[in-house]
Amino acid sequence: MHPKGRLIVYYLTQLLPQILLILVIFLSLGRNLLPNGNMFLFHDQTQYARIIEFSQALKQLHIPPISAQEFNFGIGYPIFLFYAPLAYWITSIFYLLGIGIIEVVKISFLLSMIVAALGMYSWLSSRYSKLASWMGALLFVSSPWFASEIFVRGNIATTWFLALAPWSLWALTKTKKYTVIKSLIICATLVTHNALSLLWIPVLLFYSVLEYHKHRRYRLFLVISSIIMTSFFWVPALLQLKYTYASEIARLTVYRDHFLCINQIWSTAYWGFGGSTKGCIADGMSFMLGKLQLILALMGIVIGPFFIKRRLGIFTDGLIVFVTIFLTTYDAQLLWAIFSPIQVVQFPWRLLSISLVFISALVAATFQSIIEESQIIAARDRLNINKPYKKFVRIITNLLPHMVTSRFRDAHIPSLHSIFIMSLCIVVLVGVSVSSTKFFFGKEISIDQMRRQFASIKYISHQAAYDVPEYVPKTVNYAYWQQFRSIEPNMTEITSLEKQFNKFQPNNNLQLAGTLLSIIALGFVIICLR
C-alpha cells in the first residue's frame, strides 16, 4: 500500500470510535434533527427570536451583544446583558451564514449532541479503554434526559452545557499541556447556561482537588483562572441584575414545587411535553435518566473498585452522582432551605444534567471492569471453554466450501474474549436503539407554521419580551408594561415605555472592568501555567 494510503488508514482507525459515535447520532438518536420539512414544539419558544436578535447585534458589530433591539415594540430589551451567551454565539454563526432560522436551531441541537458525545469519549479515554469510553459516551447522549432537554424543553443553552461539561473535565486530565485551550474550554462551559454554570463551579473545584493526587495546585489554579476569565460576562451581569425584576420574578417560581420523587428518575408513566408541577404524579414532562444508564452506573459503583486500579475516580463520580440526585428530591428540602443561595437555580431537577455526566463515567467503569475481568478469565481459561471454542471453529471451517477456507486460511480467528466483547457491544447498542431512541422525537408542526408563530416580526416585537419578563429594568413601571401583553400600545404609550426603559443604561465601566479581569486571567494562564 502507498505510504499516504497507510497514513489515511491509520488515522481512520484511530478515529473509528468517534466516527461511529457520529454515525449513531445521525442515523438513530438525531435523525429527527435532520431536515424533514417539519419542526417540533418545545417549552422555550423565545429561542428563535433570541437567535435572530443576537445575530442582528453581531451584524451591527454590537460586541458583546447587550440588547435585543426589536424586542419590546422596537424599544429594545437588555436580555443579552444577563443571559449566558455562548450557545447563541455558536448558533448565530450558522444563521449569519444564511441558513434558515428553523434549520439553524436543529443544527445547533444536533451539533451539541455530537460535541457532547466526542467530549465524553475524550474525557473517559483518559481513564478507561476506548471501548469502555465509547459505551459511556453512547449512553450519555442516548439518555432520555438528553432527549427531554432537546425535544421537550428545547433549551439551547442547556444542551450546549451538556456538550461542553465533559470537555471541561477532559481539560483537567492533561497535565500542563494545551493549557490555554483547556482554560478557554472551561471558560466557555461557564458562560453557557446561567444556573448550570454556577452549579458547575463547585463541581469543577471539588473534582480538580479530589480526583488527582498529582499537580492538584496546577489544576486548582487552572479552574480558578478560568472562572476569572468569565468576568467579561459575569461581572456586569451579576452586579446589574439587582436593577431588574429578576429576583421578584424568580420568587414567583417556588423551588419547593419542583422537587422529584426518586421513582421519577427511574421511570415515568408516559413521555409528556408539558411542564413541571408540584408533587410526583402530575408533572407533564419526564425526568428519567435512563434505566440502562442507572443500572450500569450502579454496577460501576459496586464492581468497579474490585477490578479498576484507579478507585478514587469511581468514588468521586459516585459521590457527585449521589449528592446531585439527592438534591433533586423532596428529602433535600431542608438543605435547600439552609443553603438559600442555591435557590437561585429555581428548579432542583436541573441538577440531573450534572448527575448524567458522572453517571456516564460510572457506566464506562462498568464496561472497563467487564473487559478486564473477561480478559483474565479467557487468558486463564477458568471456564474451560477455550478448547471447545477452537474445536467449534474447526468444525465450522470444515463445513464451509473449500474455496472459502483456502482463501481465508491464514486469516486471524478472533479470540473467545473478542467474540464476547463484540456480542456485549451489539446487545447494548440494540438495547439503546430500542429503549432510548423512542424518546428522541417531538410534537411536530410545519416549518412555515413555526416561523409564523415564533420567528415572525410581530412575535419578536410584541410578544418575545413578555415570555422572558425577568430582565425588565426597575426604572419601568412593571404593571404598566404588563398591560400591553395583550393590548398593543399606541405611539404615546410606546414613547412613555421607551423613556422608562432608557433610564436604565448598562454600566460600561463594569463591562470594562470585567473584560480587564478576563484579560489578566488569560495572561496569568499564558505566562504562569504553561
Residue 417 has pLDDT above 70, yes or no: no
pLDDT of res. 3 = 62
Among 266-270, 344-348, 451-455, the minimum mean pLDDT is found in 266-270
Cα of first residue to Cα of last residue in the chain, in angstroms, is: 41
Highest average pLDDT, of 275-279, 280-284, 485-489, comes from 485-489
**All 3 cell numbers of residue 146?**
438528553
Residue 277 has pLDDT above 90, yes or no: no
Give the phi and the psi of residue 285 in degrees, each rounded to 5. -130, 165
pLDDT of res. 402 = 55
The secondary structure element, H or E, covering residue 263 is helix 262-266
Identify which has the larger pLDDT, 332 or 423.
Answer: 332
Q: How confident is the model at residue 136 (pLDDT cuts 50, 70, 90)?
A: very high
Mean pLDDT of 22-41: 89
Q: Nearest CA to 196 among 45, 342, 64, 360?
A: 342
Q: How confident is the model at residue 399 (pLDDT cuts 50, 70, 90)?
A: low
Residue 410 has pLDDT above 50, yes or no: no
pLDDT of res. 111 = 96
* Averaged confidence pLDDT in the chain: 87
Residue 10 has pLDDT above 60, yes or no: no
pLDDT of res. 278 = 86
Q: Nearest CA to 272 among 259, 258, 287?
A: 287
Identify which has the larger pLDDT, 43 or 394.
Answer: 43
Among 86-100, 155-169, 173-187, 463-477, the minimum mean pLDDT is found in 173-187
Mean pLDDT of 344-366: 94
**All 3 cell numbers of residue 442?**
417531538
Q: How confident is the model at residue 404 (pLDDT cuts 50, 70, 90)?
A: very low
pLDDT of res. 267 = 87
User: In terms of DSSP bridges, do strands 38-41 and 443-446 run parallel, antiparallel, or are they unpaired?
Assistant: antiparallel
Residue 26 and residue 19 in contact, taking contact as beta carbons nearer than 8 Å: no
pLDDT of res. 233 = 95
Residue 103 has pLDDT above 60, yes or no: yes
Mean pLDDT of 411-419: 62
Mean pLDDT of 340-345: 84
Q: Nearest CA to 352 among 209, 144, 192?
A: 144
**Within 13 A of 231's CA, how many CA atoms are on the CB side?**
19
Q: Any idea where the domains of the chain sit in the sequence?
A: 25-368+507-528, 369-437
Rounded CA-CA distance 152/41 in Å is: 8
Segment 488-515, tens digit of pLDDT = 899 999 999 999 999 999 999 999 999 9
pLDDT of res. 17 = 82
Mean pLDDT of 347-362: 95
Residue 270 has pLDDT above 90, yes or no: no
Residue 170 has pLDDT above 90, yes or no: yes
Distance from chain centroid for Cα 69:
29
Mean pLDDT of 448-475: 93
Q: How confident is the model at residue 529 (pLDDT cuts 50, 70, 90)?
A: confident
CA distances from 211 to 56, 60, 135, 203, 216 (A): 43, 45, 22, 11, 9
Residue 248 has pLDDT above 70, yes or no: yes
Classify 444 as helix, strand or coil: strand
Residue 84 has pLDDT above 80, yes or no: yes
Among 129-143, 314-328, 419-433, the minimum mean pLDDT is found in 419-433
Segment 291-313, tens digit of pLDDT = 999 999 999 999 988 888 778 88
Q: How confident is the model at residue 422 (pLDDT cuts 50, 70, 90)?
A: confident
The secondary structure element, H or E, covering residue 443 is strand 443-446
Q: How confident is the model at residue 486 (pLDDT cuts 50, 70, 90)?
A: confident
Classify 178 as helix, strand or coil: coil
**All 3 cell numbers of residue 347?**
428548579
